[in-house]
Chains A and B, each alone.
Chain A
Amino acid sequence: MSALNIKKGSTSHSAYNLRPTFSDTEERHTLAVLVENEPGVLARVIGLFSGRGYNIESLTVAEVDHTGHLSRITIVTTGTPQVINQITAQLGRIVPVHEVHDLTVEGHSVERELALFKVSGKGEDRVEALRLADVFRARVVDSTLESFVFEITGTPEKIDAFADLMRPIGLVEMARTGVAALARGAK
């Protein structure tokens, strides 16, 4: 019904079909949001996404400028171009938000995510796990006789691929940070 493709549990059934038929193709965008590091700012951003029915694929936040009290929130979201425009405009309205950049439209950017994987196994499986980790440049940060914890950084796709390979070997648990991203180039 809607061009928004609102996830379950949100408001796609309300009232008018307000969603104009601009373009139906869903796109994945990475947004960098520079915010005043004050209490509640993350709640404002998350409340905006849930309140208006936008998707969050991943969200990371940390202070990046201690003296200037600025934090950087990196959000990966999906939506039609019109929805992505709305998201950036809506983020821009939040009073403690200083800057919003849609890294996906503003040029090339680099994206990295860090993940920790716990893999358990014995014998041949252990050897296989280490071999794959080597291919993916994952490091062992903890090991017991029956398990490893690997640390891996890369694009979300690379981490997905690593997870797919580790699963049959004995992936027990994983933790991911979500995406951090920067525009390429000197500025």
Chain B
Amino acid sequence: MSAQMTGAKMVVQALIDQGVDTVFGYPGGAVLPIYDEVFQQNSIRHVLVRHEQGAIHAAEGYARATGKVGVALVTSGPGATNAVTGLTDALMDSIPLVVFSGQVPTFMIGSDAFQEADTVGITRPCTKHNWLVKDTEKLSNTIHEAFHVAASGRPGPVLVDIPKDVQFAAADYTAPRAMTSHYRPQVKGDIEGITDLVKAIETAKKPIFYTGGGVINSGPAASQLLRELVDGTGFPITSTLMGLGAYPASGDNWLGMLGMHGLYESNMAMHDCDLMINIGARFDDRITGRIDAFSPNSKKVHIDVDPSSINKVIRTDIAIVGDVAHVLEDVLKVWKSRGRKTDRAGLDEWWAQIADWKTVNCLAYTQEGKTIRPQYAVERLEALTKHRKDRFISTEVGQHQMWAAQYMGFDDPNRWMTSGGLGTMGYGFPASIGVQMGHPDALVINVAGEASWLMNMQELGTAVQYRLPVKQFILNNERLGMVRQWQELLHGERYSSSWSEALPDFVKLAEAFGAKGICVSDPDDLDDAIMEMLDHDGPVIFDCLVEKHENCFPMIPSGKAHNEMLLGEAETQGVIDSKGSVLV
């Protein structure tokens, strides 16, 4: 079935046909025809952000929390360039987005027209794919293809650039039909690799599951299958920052996050294991530390939908290209059909070893005196909210992000939104807005540092306008804490520009926007203040004044191996040599 309509109308029609209900955007000259169509319909909610970067992060938060594709709409030129950070963020973290940008009319492209930018050129390296649509005839198909590309295989952001004359012109609209796209990533794993993996599972003495964002990307079924496999085999499991919640933090086999700021037991188990089963993680440098000392004695298995992730950094012994859910289903089938075997005696010894590592109690700290320690603040937030099944946490970037990952537990996937690969300060607040749009009744908290939070604070206007009761839990150390920590450890305590000077009064700031502000500095008042935040039906800025020079431990210093982890202040003297300090 096809009907004649304008390009602008096609955009809206295609969104409806793709099941989109929410669009984050900001208008401008080059997208006015589309905004006009948005105005004349009720199927799609448009959320007016306060900066295009906010639109993209909000769409990311929405996508991660709902499992759907996030959608944003921006104008040409500055609208599109403001979107670049968000697009890069989504590309690094494999978040499916479709972003529409307006463009100057086709006959003016290349003339340095008003608000012209080479948007497809600028966004080519920061999108999975992008299109400049020069012909209204091709628009509807391109949009359907955009959704297909964004969501299939390894997900990622795509951009559709639409010149204004293409929005005005009319053509036939085609509904999303059976896709004719040649883009069909392999989802089913090769049976040989799967059988090899099962054989390795049967004989391993010191196995570990190392899971990542790919499990979340693969959807809820993947998490379900993962739980079945972990509980069935009885193997320990650790996860990257991006994969938290795929296996429940309350589960018996959960070790905690691994990596640079991961738990001692997780990193030690990674280092000493004899079988490492990587499921949807990408051997990021926050995980591997020193490459040539990375888990020296293990057989490495890697399940990943993107062939380029395999053997990129670490050599893999068994590579299985495919989607996590599809592969795990087959792994379980084969493992069961061969009699559900594992080396029980070996595993018992392995767990005993792990129990020994756990006694180090690497996250221990003491809350004493009249200053709130940031770990304590996060732990209290966790204690007072973890019973809420509908709790979603986003974070900014820095120490607070790591403390949230360490001290909070996630029992379900899609409950944890954080900027991992790009580490974008300013991500968390707009992301929390996106999450709340996707789950209007849920409890959405952004664990923030004051410096990161200020980077996209204009979105407070958005939160207030749409009555989004997002809670901004700011651990205010009046420092660019993570930078300060590195300067302390690597640059002789010369704190070059790592202060948050001239901070606003956050309570007054909240009030100025019509939101609620709470400030707390006394540990004894903390619980009541958190309850007050939770009880308030509306956006809250929670200014939690914390210890200013706290460091985040454990920490694997740059250029060190997993078993060279620092556990606390006493161990930090002169540990990072000059070679380590060139690393980031």
Contact = CB atoms under 8 A, between A and B. Distances in A.
Q: Do A and B interact?
A: yes
Interface of A: 13-22, 36, 39-40, 43-44, 47, 51, 82, 85-86, 89-90, 92-96, 98
Given A22-B315, A43-B121, A43-B124, A15 B291 contact: no
B313 interface: yes
Given A40-B120, A95-B183, A15 B312 contact: no
A35 to B, nearest CB: 11
Contacts of A47: 124-125
A21 to B, nearest CB: 6
Q: 5 closest A-B pairs (Cβ-Cβ)?
A: A89-B308, A95-B129, A16-B285, A89-B307, A15-B584
B76 to A, nearest CB: 18
Interface in B114-148: 120-121, 124-125, 128-129, 132
B297 interface: no
Interface string B282-296: 000100100110000
Nearest to A82: B311
Identify the interface centre among B128, B154, B307, B558: most chain A CB within 10 Å of its CB. Answer: B307
Contact of A40 (B124, B314, B558, B583): B124
A16 B308 contact: no
A40 B124 CA distance: 9
A56 to B, nearest CB: 17
Given A82-B315, A89-B310, 9 more contacts: A20-B291, A20-B315, A39-B132, A40-B124, A40-B132, A85-B311, A90-B308, A95-B149, A96-B129
Contacts, number: 63
A93 B306 contact: yes
B314 A98 contact: no
A16 B312 CA distance: 14
Contacts of A89: 306-308, 310
Interface string B545-584: 0000000000000110000000000000000000000111
Contacts of B314: 20
B200 to A, nearest CB: 21
A96 B149 CA distance: 11
A36 to B, nearest CB: 8
Interface residues of B, number: 29
Interface in B79-123: 120-121
B124 A86 contact: no
Interface string B521-543: 00000000000000000000000
B292 A86 contact: no
Given A16-B558, A93-B308, A21 B128 contact: no
B387 interface: no
A185 B258 CA distance: 51
Nearest to B579: A17
Contacts of A22: 311, 315
Nearest to A50: B125
B182 interface: yes
A22 B486 CA distance: 32
Contacts of A36: 182
A22 B121 CA distance: 35
A43 B125 CA distance: 10
A36 B582 CA distance: 41
Contacts of A44: 124
A89 to B, nearest CB: 4
Interface string B267-299: 000000000000000000100100110000000
B308 A18 contact: no
A86 B312 contact: yes
B125 A17 contact: no
B313 A20 contact: yes
A89 B313 CA distance: 13
B291 A17 contact: yes
A16 B291 contact: yes
21 contacts: A15-B285, A16-B285, A16-B291, A16-B558, A17-B291, A18-B285, A20-B292, A36-B182, A40-B120, A40-B132, A43-B121, A44-B124, A47-B124, A85-B311, A86-B311, A86-B312, A89-B307, A93-B154, A93-B308, A95-B149, A95-B183
